[in-house]
A and B are shown apart, each in its own frame.
Chain A
């Protein structure tokens, strides 16, 4: 087990190295940051002065090596635009994204699995058919369209929910939370619904497929025959076996929700990391973009490893030796 973990960590470091290298390589083709750094009215000479001040005149490999050296010491450089530490500016946005992703994953997991069970019990009922058709919609309608539709319906026409932002927040140490105010929770509903749409549909379909397979197994028939209560048969015996792949997928997609909630965040002006990434891309703010991508890669790798370990825990038949 220990050797497996070490192996995975080494693998993860290799991936991070590759990601950082590709990032760096790509940014050579996304425009010259000096134009922005020197300001609107700068002359050619002033631009060169800035290029030297920021070390952008050095060859590619020197810049990359110095970036790696600094990154190892936890210094990812300063944003070109705001001149604030890049990692700090991203981490400052992390609570917003995390709370949004957490709400979305909890919602899509409970509703997705719940509906999945419901549908699998009466696969041909009218309600089941409607739910299944709806789940197709959840998979195929793009997030930005769903988000805008929600806003138009609930914020503009019905005026039930606020259309954008995070509402009143509470600062607890370094963590700015929207969970503790009514206003904050109200603001959370629509973005979380939008973000959870796709995962919900996937988990629903996965649960349904698994349940239908398991429900026809011999041991379930035995359980029924034994006269166990429906709750025990469905939840304890059937669902437990179905949950293994469902948990895996949910876990993996949680990382993705954190790292790539960009579209949802920009529609709802959610002050999270994705929103920051988007504005930074428009500004050619390379330190922020590179740090973000590294951080996203790190989160996804970390969650992948955790899910693998959890998998072994849930299913004792699996051994990593």
Chain B
């Protein structure tokens, strides 16, 4: 009996020992959102794409500072005509399992992205009519309709290995990443950490840090404790209520930058409702005191904006200005429009999606009540809110938008174009704003081949949408990071909030 116990004990010790010899991470990063899957097409959120960007490469990538489109697995690309896109692929790239990268992998990737079992990128995959591979390092896409932002999405369509992916069962495929990226997948302990190891043969050269650990912490207070107790070198997603505390800690440096995501109030213009009158929409916009929202609710961690696309997006119009905050003028406009006594209005919005979303809705309700509207607040969890949005239940609501493509064209089709499920237009135009002139401008812009000229057309759409008050932009969110001062990290936040490890070095 004693003997057996001893054997068992020594067996356990033997099993335990190797586990203790793991390499210690050179860099530990705490983030606010856990990875959902290791399938690069399994979840379309920037939080998940951020993880994927380290294991995989797209055909193209985005420059860290301003989001400019740059070569990655493709060295050159060209829009040959309205429907045709050509990419020349990089030679000599290998996947982490040793397989060579070539055009067959790209073709396989985009075909797999059409399968709803594997992919949540159906929209871009279904827009492809055919894929041709004239040789091993050239690939030609034909799209079903003009998709001017096709190349603009290529930084987030990550390429997988054809040979190994075909035979893998879905459980393995979804939990272990094999890509061409700067980091190799080591281990994913769900809910605890992800371990990564530098890919020494990376085509851009080996990254600076060899062993990296990313730890997701969903609870605000715990994330704060993690950086305060020096459990992480870098923290992404500093909770806003604790920003003052963290800024005052002498060992921690806080870095922030305007995020790409814009928070706005969406508004309809349906005939027969007060919203059909431009003066009413203007009055609502002028009643909202955005400066006060930024100062008191966002604690200064937001930037007021006059438009929805951010500065990195094609179609951003620098000349646009916010309407002044002027409740008296707003009241006068309401009177002109024939509503001196106001009218009932419902403000909808999610309460668990954007930073302080519920509080912003409450503030807007307060402002609108001040100009005499009879306000009802209808704030609910995002899972229910977005469901209602899809069935066009709300005329006036708070929502945020950030287009992964850095191109206002897709945003305009989804948010501004008249709702038309047949054509796949206006999917997120929940308030059902509709303007035939704007629709035509959006459709026409898709066929313009020249990038600069198209940019101008998109700016015109953007400008018209703001002047006609198709929406009321409030602010861009702020991304806030905290760095341990002693760690000497060289970290520049990206516009899309991805943590791309190969960009991080040490001073």
> What is the interface of chain A, defined by CB distance below 8 A to chain B?
29-32, 35-47, 49-50, 53-54, 78, 81-85, 88-89, 92-93, 96, 148, 151-152, 155-156, 159, 162-166, 168-172, 176, 180-181, 266-272, 275-276, 278-279, 282-284
Q: In the complex, what distance in Å separates the CA atom of A52 from the CA atom of B260?
A: 34
Residue on A nearest B34 in the bound complex, by CB: A279
Chain A's nearest CB lies how many Å from the CB of B497?
A: 15
Residues of B within 8 A of A31 (CB): 381-384, 386-387
Residue on B nearest A148 in the bound complex, by CB: B221
Could you show 7 A-B contacts with beta carbons less than 8 Å apart? Answer: A35-B387, A41-B414, A85-B171, A152-B225, A163-B226, A176-B189, A180-B16
Contact of B20 among A32, A168, A176, A284 (CB under 8 A): A168
Q: In the complex, what distance in Å separates the CA atom of A66 from the CA atom of B92?
A: 49
Residues of A within 8 A of B126 (CB): 46
Interface size class of B (residues with CB under 8 A): 35 or more
Chain B contacts with A in 160-174, Cβ cutoff 8 A: 170-171, 174
Knowing that A31-B387, A165-B215, A269-B219 touch, tell me 19 more A-B residue pairs with CB under 8 angstroms: A32-B387, A35-B387, A37-B116, A39-B120, A42-B120, A46-B122, A49-B116, A53-B116, A83-B174, A84-B174, A84-B175, A148-B221, A155-B228, A155-B229, A165-B231, A170-B16, A172-B12, A269-B192, A271-B190
* B390 at interface, CB cutoff 8 A: yes
Question: B117 and A53: CB pair below 8 A?
Answer: yes
Residues of A within 8 A of B386 (CB): 31, 35
Residue on A nearest B19 in the bound complex, by CB: A170
Question: B410 and A92: CB pair below 8 A?
Answer: no
Contact of B352 among A50, A164, A276, A282 (CB under 8 A): A282
Q: Most A CB atoms within 10 A — which of B119, B122, B193, B414?
A: B122
Question: B42 and A45: CB pair below 8 A?
Answer: no
* B218 at interface, CB cutoff 8 A: yes
* B222 at interface, CB cutoff 8 A: yes
Residues of A within 8 A of B123 (CB): 39, 41-43, 46
Question: A279 and B218: CB pair below 8 A?
Answer: yes
Question: A81 and B387: CB pair below 8 A?
Answer: no
Chain A's nearest CB lies how many Å from the CB of B424?
A: 3
Chain B's nearest CB lies how many Å from the CB of A74?
A: 15
Contact of B189 among A35, A164, A271, A275 (CB under 8 A): A271
Q: In the complex, what distance in Å separates the CA atom of A44 from the CA atom of B386?
A: 13
Question: B222 and A164: CB pair below 8 A?
Answer: yes
Question: A82 and B384: CB pair below 8 A?
Answer: no
Residues of A within 8 A of B410 (CB): 41
Residue on B nearest A41 in the bound complex, by CB: B123
Question: A156 and B228: CB pair below 8 A?
Answer: yes
Question: A164 and B231: CB pair below 8 A?
Answer: yes
Question: A275 and B191: CB pair below 8 A?
Answer: yes
Residue on A nearest B43 in the bound complex, by CB: A81
Question: A43 and B421: CB pair below 8 A?
Answer: yes
Q: In the complex, what distance in Å separates the CA atom of A93 from the CA atom of B192?
A: 10
Contacts A45-B424, A165-B193, A279-B218; A181 near B20 (Cβ below 8 A): yes
Residues of A within 8 A of B118 (CB): 83
Chain A's nearest CB lies how many Å from the CB of B410?
A: 7
Question: A92 and B190: CB pair below 8 A?
Answer: yes
Question: A269 and B218: CB pair below 8 A?
Answer: yes
Residues of A within 8 A of B390 (CB): 32, 35, 47
Question: B383 and A30: CB pair below 8 A?
Answer: yes
Residue on B nearest A82 in the bound complex, by CB: B37
Q: In the complex, what distance in Å separates the CA atom of A206 from the CA atom of B119?
A: 55
Question: B225 and A164: CB pair below 8 A?
Answer: yes
Question: A89 and B190: CB pair below 8 A?
Answer: yes
* B110 at interface, CB cutoff 8 A: no
Q: Most A CB atoms within 10 A — which of B39, B384, B387?
A: B387
Chain B's nearest CB lies how many Å from the CB of A71?
A: 19
